[in-house]
Amino acid sequence: MDLMTPESGTIVWTTITFVALVFALYKIAWKPILSMLEEREQKIRESLQAADKARAEAEQSSEERLRIVREAKNEAQKLLAEARRSAEKMSDDMMRKAQGEAELLLARAKSEIEASRDNVLQQMRDLAVELSMAATEKLIRKDLSREEHQRIIQESMEKMEKLY
């Protein structure tokens, strides 16, 4: 018996054993192995689809975030511009109000100055009248009538006004 040339009985029994083993594996293990492979293939497919979906959602989410950031920036710029306009308007209003108050104070001061000047002039006239009457009375040494007093006062006032 030569090792390189098998005997025909060994070939037959080896073939029968191989066929029986393949048949047994086909009946017992082949279907479960195929179903496990199909399940694994299905899980891989689902995982790839989920990954694609997640990637698409991530891209969409990223675009949405960028859009939200752009909108927020635009809104912030609008708010800043509005705040600037509001501040400028408030500043202008305050300036106008301050100018109005200053003009009112100036007018009031002018009025008070004119009133004080008129009061002083009136007091000076009264004093001049009294002095004129006293001087006239001393010169004449007699009492004058009311009409004469008025005439003398009027003349004195005219002379004083010419001096000013």
Residues 6+ apart with CB under 8 A from 22: none
Does 4 fall in a domain?
Answer: no
Q: Does some domain include residue 3?
A: no
Mean pLDDT of 34-41: 91
Question: Among 5-9, 75-79, 142-146, which range has the highest average pLDDT?
Answer: 75-79
Taking 80 as the threshold, does the pLDDT of residue 13 lie above it? yes
Between 19 and 163, the higher pLDDT residue: 19
What is d(CA 64, CA 47) in angstroms, rounded to the nearest whole number? Answer: 25
In this structure, is the dihedral angle defined by the CA atoms of residues 109, 113, 118 and 124, taken in order, positive or negative? positive
Q: Is 152 within the bounds of a domain?
A: yes
Number of domains making up the chain: 1
Lowest-pLDDT choice from 38-42, 67-71, 114-118: 114-118
Count CA atoms within 13 Å of residue 58 on its CB side: 6
Evaluate whether residue 2 is within a structural domain. no
Count helices and strands in the chain by DSSP H and E runs: 3, 0
- What is the average pLDDT across 76-92? 92
Q: What is the pTM of this model?
A: 0.39
Task: Give the range of the structural domain holding residue 79, as residue numbers without chain letter.
Answer: 11-163
Residue 69 in domain: yes
Could you write out the three-class secondary structure of 137-161?
HHHHCCCCCHHHHHHHHHHHHHHHH
Which letter does DSSP use for residue 30 in this model? I
Percent of the chain with pLDDT over 90: 41
* pLDDT, tens digit, 9 for 90 and up, residues 90-146: 999 999 999 999 999 999 999 999 998 888 888 877 777 777 777 766 666 566 677
**Residues 153/126, Cβ–Cβ less than 8 Å:** no
5 assigned to some structural domain: no
Q: Determine, yes or no, domain membership for 65.
A: yes
Q: What is the pLDDT of residue 2?
A: 62
CA distance 59 to 70: 16
Separation CA 17–CA 11 (nearest Å):
10
Residue 68 inside a domain? The answer is: yes
Q: Which residue has the higher pLDDT, 149 or 22?
A: 22
Reported confidence tier of residue 25, pLDDT bands at 50, 70, 90: confident
Question: In this model, does residue 149 exceed pLDDT 60?
Answer: yes
Measure the CA–CA gap between 102 and 115, rounded to whole angstroms.
20
